[in-house]
A and B are shown apart, each in its own frame.
Chain A
Amino acid sequence: MSVIVDHISKIYGEQKAVDAISFQVNKGEIVGFLGPNGAGKSTTMKILTCFIPQTSGQASVCGHDVINDSMEVRRKVGYLPEQNPLYLDMYVREYLMFMASLRQLGARSGSRVDSMIERTGLTLERKKKIGQLSKGYKQRVGLAQAMLHEPEVLILDEPTSGLDPNQLVEIRSLIRQIGKDKTVILSTHIMQEVEALCSRAIIINKGKIVADDSIAMLQGKLGKSSRLTVEFRDPVHSDLLKKIDGVSQVDSLGDKKFALLGSPVDRIKEQVFALAVNQQTILLSMQEEEQKLESVFRELTQNAPVTSKKVKSK
């Protein structure tokens, strides 16, 4: 286990930012940390990187406790904070050399810095001041800094925010490359990113974990329950639709148009058709929407118990 989080809570004054969350991350996993703003993602990451201590609970990285053995944890962790803070008046190479010596790389500093500059595609920018770089390049400097000391665990807080689509692809492939032999925890709002990068997603809302599962499982769970939009020629009472076997929720989009949620979808389709015949009306359209991770996220974090209650395994 690279990262073990055991019932961690963090209370800021009156507000509970993180509420007794627990999870584990194995070596070599890329885990996506999802949640709306203010859900407690950054706080959890700050605890894991020893920036702030938790109020209660225990966390360890590579077997070292984040409070009692914080120096060892800091050596093993590479961290890219949110907003990617950098010294804007330093030169790219100068900054990386500074970070290398902070990380006590000693004689390896020069070669590590040069290889990171090459890997992150900063070769042409290495003599520029950081303040002159575009956002994408600054992000690369931040990533280079985080990976400088070949950390066993990489913690990236919104690594791709504010990048253009090309840079996005490049940074993602960089993260994927690193993730082959390192443990990576990254937070993001972008669902496609999690789908593209991560093997597992932890969805967190209001300081609590609402889902922790592999991407395939998360999508699969929803695959069983679909969203079906149906339209009739004449008004139909929504109660009739609610009576259909397997339908868990009916949203009226007008008196003739409804969105149904439930499973199995094939059975529901048949019954909707039968209902239309029964009511002597005509079914104008029936559309099945594919539920992707985005919907899972919306469902789990908006407190609307739409399909299943909680998607959780283990």
Chain B
Amino acid sequence: MFVIYIKEIRSFLSSLIAYIVIITFLVAIGLFMWVFPDTNVLDLGYANLDPLFFIAPWVFMFLISAITMRSFADEKRAGTIETLTTSPVSDLNIILGKYFAGVTLVLFSLIPTVVYYFSVRYLANPVGNIDSGAILGSYIGLLMVGSSFVAIGMFASSLTDNQISAFIISSLLCFFFYSAFDYLGELNIFADLDYVISWLGMYFHYQSISRGVLDTRDAFYFLSIIVFFILLTKTVFGSRKW
């Protein structure tokens, strides 16, 4: 697993994907956070990072799909999957190696935004008047959303040998699991079920963690999503043997 992990990280770095993803993420988030009139913290009047935590999942939806789209699609197209799977490594090791490489990239794109926390903390009146607990919770939530997106993206990539298809499927699935349930819950026909339906979506749990309350149920929800998609990926990946 470690061998695959290192190889994936190296290929992120050598193909410039890592830099492009991190820069794009930071530029997009930076603009929303500090520049755009309706969303910037300065005009908002509250010393928090809400714009960051609101926009980041939407940016991740596309960026993470872009990171993961090649993970299996490219290997299948180039045929390198054959050398990989005829080496003495199990399918699960290959998948986990690639998965953790993706999560690492997400983590590294989030780390620079910690600077925002200190900036806002300094700008607050009085200085340091900021809800650190809620922000820490939101970071954990965001990392969980990102990790789930990586699992979804890998699954999408395992379905096809075309990167564009993988990207589109992945973005769609990410969107669906992130917020579609929340919107569906608002439909009148689900009058009594609205809570249950929005509970199925990531947004519900992300919000809950963002309040700074780390509930094991929310953590368990994200963990199940990740495990579920990794197992799906394993099934699809193993389907060459059917």
Contacts and interface: CB of A to CB of B under 8 A. Distances in A.
B86 A74 contact: yes
Contacts of A86: 78, 80, 83
Contacts of A159: none
A98 interface: yes
A99 B87 contact: yes
A108 interface: no
B192 interface: no
Interface string B70-92: 00000000111111111111100
A101 B4 CA distance: 9
B78 A90 contact: no
Nearest to A80: B83
Contact of B83 (A50, A52, A75, A99): A99
Task: Identify whether the interface residues of A are mostly helix, strand, loop, or mixed.
Answer: loop
Nearest to B81: A85
Interface in B54-110: 78-90
A83 interface: yes
A61 to B, nearest CB: 12
A88 B86 contact: no
A49 B3 contact: no
Contacts of A216: none
Nearest to A100: B3
B79 A51 contact: no
Count class of interface residues, chain B: 20 to 34
B79 to A, nearest CB: 3
A101 B2 CA distance: 10
Contacts of A53: 241
A85 B82 contact: yes
B83 A88 contact: no
B11 interface: yes
A19 to B, nearest CB: 20
Contacts of B81: 85
Contacts of B87: 74, 99, 102-103
Interface residues of A, number: 27
Nearest to B15: A89
A145 interface: yes
Centre residue among B79, B82, B84, B87 by max chain A CB count within 10 A: B87
Contact of B11 (A79, A90, A102): A90
Interface string B7-21: 100110011000000
Contact of A51 (B7, B11, B15, B82): B82
B121 to A, nearest CB: 42
B217 interface: no
A222 B187 CA distance: 80
A49 B80 contact: no
Given A51-B82, A88-B78, A145-B83, A103 B88 contact: yes
Contacts of B14: 89-90
A52 B240 contact: yes
B10 A50 contact: no
Contacts of B85: 50-51
Nearest to B88: A74
Given A75-B88, A87-B11, A81 B3 contact: no
A94 B86 CA distance: 19
Interface in B15-32: 15
A77 interface: yes
A79 B88 contact: no
Nearest to A46: B82
Nearest to A104: B88
Interface in B103-119: none
Contacts of A46: 82
Given A74-B88, A94-B10, A103-B88, A85 B15 contact: no
29 contacts: A51-B82, A51-B85, A51-B86, A52-B240, A71-B88, A71-B90, A74-B87, A75-B88, A79-B82, A79-B83, A81-B83, A83-B79, A85-B78, A85-B79, A85-B81, A85-B83, A86-B78, A88-B78, A89-B14, A90-B14, A94-B10, A98-B7, A99-B83, A99-B87, A102-B3, A102-B87, A102-B89, A103-B87, A145-B83
Given A71-B88, A81-B83, A85-B81, 14 more contacts: A51-B82, A51-B86, A53-B241, A74-B87, A79-B82, A81-B86, A85-B80, A85-B82, A85-B83, A87-B78, A90-B11, A98-B7, A99-B87, A102-B87
